[in-house]
Structure 1
Amino acid sequence: MRDKSDTGQKADRKARLAEQLRANLQKRKVQARARRDGAADSRPEGIPAVRKAPK
């Protein structure tokens, strides 16, 4: 037979995962809107290790 705390833990985990999913979806919506609006990306251009060294 299952403990009441076991079902409580599962419910807590499910609620926590649902909250994380909502936060992730909100973050992705913001990113998609920024791309659609043409906002500049905050990342530097390219990978520094790949850039050609001046000769």
Structure 2
Amino acid sequence: MAGVLANDSEQIDRRTSRSICDAVGERLQQSIRPDPRLPTHLEQLLNELRKRDLDTH
């Protein structure tokens, strides 16, 4: 990407660049965070497994 820079563009220092990258990364992690809940069918299956496990002990 460095080759894409125009001659008249202002360059940013390493510290500013790192801050921008960190901020973008944090926002991406927040926006693509998976839903912590399981689908209903899988939740029911896990509950059934737990029930059977308790019944066998």
Same fold, TM-score > 0.5, yes or no: no
Structure 2 length-normalised TM: 0.40
Structure label with greater radius of gyration: 2
TM-score by length of 1: 0.41
Q: RCO (CA 8 Å, sep 6+): is it higher in 1 or 2?
A: 1
